[in-house]
Structure 1
Amino acid sequence: PHRLPASAYRLLAMALLVLPLAVPVRPAHAQPAGASRLLRASDLDTLSLRDAGRRIAYGDDSLHFGELRLPPGLRSGARAPVAVVIHGGCWISSFATLRNTAALADALAANGVATWNVEYRRADHPGGGWPGTFTDIARAADHLRVLAREYPLDTARVVAVGHSAGGHLALWLAGRPSLPAGTPLSSAAPLRLTGVVSLGGVTDLEEFVGRMPSGCGRGASMLLGGPLASLPDRVALASPIRRLPLGVPTAHVAGAQDGIAPEPVRAAYARAAVAAGDAPPANVTVPGGHFEVNAPRTAAGAEAIRQTRRLLGMTPP
């Protein structure tokens, strides 16, 4: 066979060395050059805090506690509006704790809103799931009346701010006054909310489990105690879209790349709310994914603060 001259082999070797530099191969999941990656849940747990808050129990379980933060410089005799802040994590303990929403709660306090960032039993905790997770959230919210005896809190101006699964619980909390008496989730004198800010929140449990049956949707099935199709009575009491009208204004804020709460699903909830008689919800798409809304220094986090203040009747920050 014919052999190539040595010079040809040298040229071929140089070409093979240069080729990977001239034709870069980008993985299918890679972001465009210069783009920062989306935040993860673990990133939120490392955000710095101005105020660690006062840890206060609202019940007997080790997970029955919250962190209370008050706005600095509150004038004498004034009472601060309040945000009940509810973290997410697919209703399962391994994904998130109240540290996930601590930075947002801290920033809200710095912007004039007292915050009650609550912990609660998840579906995989003893006593959590149905109905314990719901009754924990209800009990935590009602505990504001007790806190207001010692701290300058305005219990007539309370907004629930929830992220992801916490967004579902925040919306559910707003609809609690209309729950039928005698059901496992009802209570005699629920604290009435001024509004709800759902941050990448789950608005429709059936839609969500149908779309994500093996992911976060598994936590929703655990929350209700089994397949949703076999528990229609529980779904009717627990799914926000089934509790409409809520009777209070709501704002829905989610990242453009948020797969938990995509815009079409939020828009469907808004249409259902209006059809049921609620005021048109604010439906705001912000830059980022699912977790940027909890990071105060992002545009998404700033929007979460703005919407909270708006629903409390405060001027923009």
Structure 2
Amino acid sequence: MSDAAAEPGTAAARNAAEEKSVFSHPAVDPDGTAVYGDHPDQVIDFYAPRGAAGPGGAAPVVVLLHGGSWRAPYDRRHVSPFAGFLAHRGFAVASVEYRRGARGAGSEDAGAEGAGGDGGAGSEDAGAEGVRGDGGAGGPVAGRWPDTFDDVAAALDALPALVRRHLPQADARRVVLTGHSAGGHLALWAAARHVLPADAPWRLDRPAPLRGVVALAPIAAFEVADKLDVCGGATRQLLGGRELFADRRPYADPALLLPTGIATTLVQGRADVDVPQAVAEAYADAAAKAGEVVGVTLLEDVGHFPLIDPAADACAVVAEEIAQLAW
């Protein structure tokens, strides 16, 4: 959790205030929920558009993947105020839940075994633990291999039919993926399934029909994130531990899954201490080397959480970035 005793005016104090703000909003109930599998975490919440329709008439669909370093204590409820904010901006929103890491597993390798949890419905304590838990003894482990990836792939495959059923106001042909932090990673990964290795079970033979991706402070480049120990070694845990990290990276690391041919924008706070700017820059550099231009919007004096905080100016910037791809 953030240090409540941080000196006023310091970066730590600002980060603590931003974190407190994002978790202060009450959860926003969806207009409907659908299942895409048998596990309790295999569900999608739907938010109908409430704002004025855009130039195309029917609302575009924003597929939202929550963050929390792929750890069980942090579920989709904490991004429900952000989903509601987007709905009031005229978007139809599909907020995806997926299986995450175990609680209380004591080793790096336990990430492949742990059961998903309901994550405490977006409370501040659950959110802080999910972001900053170190995955050590008694702490939550990041991700489940291959379950986390199985779920995101299955949810995206099921989405067109579910959108037609649950969001009749929406245009299922205009879809933008967005996600925050670990969810930003999953959004980039989901858009790159057609460039996965040939033996990957999630591979598609053609690009997904997306308008684009807007990844918010994404854990987008695993080598850099691992060196910086982002979220307490979460990338290593997601891939099953240090011994499996190199072997599984080609199947999971967005920086190795380029070019995608899909319009992509990263939105990053320069003051982010949870997922530092260097991670986004590493992904953009990898894209450039692969011959692809990735947009990077850097926000001054913004940390990790304002990007999904309806009370923050940064959240409006995110909505504009999504609108530029969606309409």
User: Partners in 1 of 2:220 and 2:236 — Cα distance?
Assistant: 15
Q: Superposition pairs for residues 90-101 of structure 1, below 5 Å?
A: 90-94=69-73, 96-101=74-79
User: Partners in 2 of 1:73 and 1:164 — Cα distance?
Assistant: 26
Q: Deviations over 1:225-251 (max 9, x none)?
A: 111x64423101100101011211222
Tell me, yes or no, if structure 1 residue 126 matches structure 2 residue 143: no
Of structures 1 and 2, the larger Rg is shown by 1
**Other structure's SS at 1:148 match:** helix
User: Partners in 2 of 1:269 and 1:218 — Cα distance?
Assistant: 18
Q: Superposition pairs for residues 19-168 of structure 1, below 5 Å?
A: 29-32=6-9, 38-39=16-17, 41=19, 43-48=21-26, 52-72=30-50, 78-94=57-73, 96-124=74-102, 125-126=114-115, 129-150=144-165, 151-152=167-168, 153-168=170-185
Please, what TM-score do these two structures have when normalized by structure 2?
0.77
Instruction: Please identify, of 101-110 and 36-45, the stretch whose mean Cα deviation from structure 2 is larger.
Output: 36-45
Please, what TM-score do these two structures have when normalized by structure 1?
0.79
Q: Is the 8 A contact 1:68 1:114 kept in 2?
A: yes
Query: Which residues of structure 2 form unaligned runs of 5+?
Result: 103-113, 117-142
Question: Which residue does the alignment assign to 2:215?
Answer: 198
Q: 2:202 aligns with which of 170, 185, 210?
A: 185
Amino acid at match of 1:222: Q
User: Partners in 1 of 2:15 and 2:224 — Cα distance?
Assistant: 28
- 1:133 deviates by 0.2
Change (3 A) 1:264 1:149: closer
User: Partners in 1 of 2:209 and 2:235 — Cα distance?
Assistant: 25
Q: Is the 8 A contact 1:286 1:299 kept in 2?
A: no
Question: Which residue does the alignment assign to 1:9?
Answer: none
- Indicate the RMSD between aligned Cα atoms, in angstroms: 2.7
Question: Which residue does the alignment assign to 2:125?
Answer: none
Instruction: Please identify, of 104-113 and 269-278, the stretch whose mean Cα deviation from structure 2 is larger.
Output: 269-278
Change (3 A) 1:189 1:39: farther
- 1:261 deviates by 3.0
Amino acid at match of 1:122: R
User: Partners in 2 of 1:80 and 1:157 — Cα distance?
Assistant: 8
Instruction: Please identify, of 257-266 and 242-251, the stretch whose mean Cα deviation from structure 2 is larger.
Output: 257-266
Same amino acid, percent of matched pairs: 37
User: Partners in 2 of 1:209 and 1:36 — Cα distance?
Assistant: 25
- 1:260 deviates by 2.9
Q: Is the 8 A contact 2:178 2:213 kept in 1?
A: yes
Q: Deviations over 1:84-105 (max 9, x none)?
A: 11111111112x1101211111
Instruction: Please identify, of 164-173 and 188-197, the stretch whose mean Cα deviation from structure 2 is larger.
Output: 188-197
- 1:195 deviates by 1.3
Count, aligned residues: 281
Question: Which residue does the alignment assign to 1:16?
Answer: none
Question: Which residue does the alignment assign to 1:171?
Answer: 188
User: Partners in 2 of 1:230 and 1:72 — Cα distance?
Assistant: 45
Change (3 A) 1:202 1:73: closer
Query: Which residues of structure 1 form unaligned runs of 5+?
Result: 1-26
